[in-house]
């Protein structure tokens, strides 16, 4: 299987994962407007909610990374600019995953 086929399949899998997770998160965001800080921390202290949020964030970041890389590969003609831009996207991707994981672990450790 070629690299482009693999990326295409992964992007479709993440898109399917994101549909129910996005509805779940939007529903809870509406509820968040009616609760205080301690209740919000209690929500994310639940392992189920933290796991679902982590899955949603990782799927969203993978989906965005693959989409950005595809756009960069298709529309940036300069090889050096293309390489630098893709590396920037990857740094942002990995940094975002690390920040998400550290944030959830911080909340879970206080529970």
Q: Where are the beta strands (DSSP E) in 23-84?
A: none
Closest Cα partner for 19 from 58, 51, 47, 59?
Answer: 59
Q: What is the pLDDT of residues 6-43, one digit of tens each?
A: 999 999 999 999 999 999 999 999 999 999 999 998 99
How much is the pTM? 0.88
DSSP state of 35: S
Provide the domain count of the chain: 1
- pLDDT tens by residue, 43-60: 999 999 999 999 999 999
Of all residues in the chain, what percent are helix, strand and coil, respectively (each to 5)?
Answer: 90, 0, 10
Q: What is the CATH number of the domain that holds 105?
A: 1.20.1300.10
In which domain, by residue range, is 87 found?
A: 3-110
HSE value, Cβ hemisphere, 13 Å, CA-based, for 94: 5
């Amino acid at each position: 299987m070629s690299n482009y086929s693999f990326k295409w399949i992964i992007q479709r899998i993440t898109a399917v994962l994101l549909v129910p997770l996005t509805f779940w998160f939007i529903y809870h965001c509406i509820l968040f407007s009616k609760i205080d800080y301690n209740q919000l921390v209690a929500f994310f202290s639940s392992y189920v909610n933290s796991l679902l949020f982590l899955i949603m964030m990782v799927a969203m970041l993978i989906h965005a990374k693959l989409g950005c890389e595809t756009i960069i590969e298709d529309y940036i003609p300069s090889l050096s600019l293309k390489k630098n831009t893709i590396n920037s996207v990857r740094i942002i991707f990995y940094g975002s995953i690390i920040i998400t994981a550290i944030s959830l672990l911080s909340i879970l450790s206080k529970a």
